[in-house]
Amino acid sequence: MFEHITANEIAGYTVGALLVCATISAPKIDSFISVSQRRSLNMCTRCGNLKVVSCTKCKGSGAIKEEAFTFNLVDESYQSSSRPKSQSICMKCKGTGRFRCRECFKSP
């Protein structure tokens, strides 16, 4: 099955697999680095002394799109604005897009 694969192809597949693994693990590595930097600067490890944390459901926007994923070949900026996009207010954060940081406002 693999008689016709050259060393260059094997190297290419290996590099491709490593890039996929690095892409998948990048958010976890970034989170680890930011927490360690905040800890070394005596900042809140959750919010970085901003005192607020963005909502996980709406990702800080305060609204949730109700449409399912659709694929359009025409860019949204070229479409007419007569078709409104249906959005609803996020019920988790009540449309604010953020919460008070629990770590900063702990009761003693």
What percent of the chain has a predicted confidence (pLDDT) above 90? 31
pLDDT value at residue 83: 47
Is the residue at 79 inside a domain?
no
In one-letter notation, the amino acid at residue 69 is: F
Judge if 14 and 66 occupy the same domain. Answer: no
Judge if 7 and 32 occupy the same domain. Answer: yes
Residues 30-48 pLDDT 10s? 989 998 999 999 998 888 8
Q: How far apart are CA 6 and CA 42, in angstroms?
A: 53
Q: Is the pLDDT of residue 13 over 60?
A: yes
Task: For residue 99, give Cα distances in angstroms to 7, 61, 74, 91.
Answer: 53, 12, 37, 12
Judge if 32 and 58 occupy the same domain. Answer: no
How much is the mean pLDDT over the chain? Answer: 82
Judge if 59 and 104 occupy the same domain. Answer: yes
Nearest C-alpha neighbor of 53 from the set 107, 95, 104: 104
Judge if 26 and 7 occupy the same domain. Answer: yes
Q: Is the pLDDT of residue 29 over 90?
A: yes
Q: Is the pLDDT of residue 11 over 70?
A: yes
Look-up of token digits 């207010």: 89
Is the residue at 31 inside a domain?
yes
Q: How far apart are CA 92 and CA 57, in angstroms?
A: 7
Question: pTM for this one?
Answer: 0.53
Q: Is the pLDDT of residue 52 over 70?
A: yes
Pick 81 or 101 by higher pLDDT: 101
Is the residue at 78 inside a domain?
no
Is the residue at 77 inside a domain?
no
Q: Is the pLDDT of residue 8 over 60?
A: yes
Judge if 60 and 95 occupy the same domain. Answer: yes
Judge if 16 and 32 occupy the same domain. Answer: yes
Domain count, the chain: 2
Judge if 14 and 59 occupy the same domain. Answer: no
Structural domain of residue 102, as residue ranges? 46-72+85-108
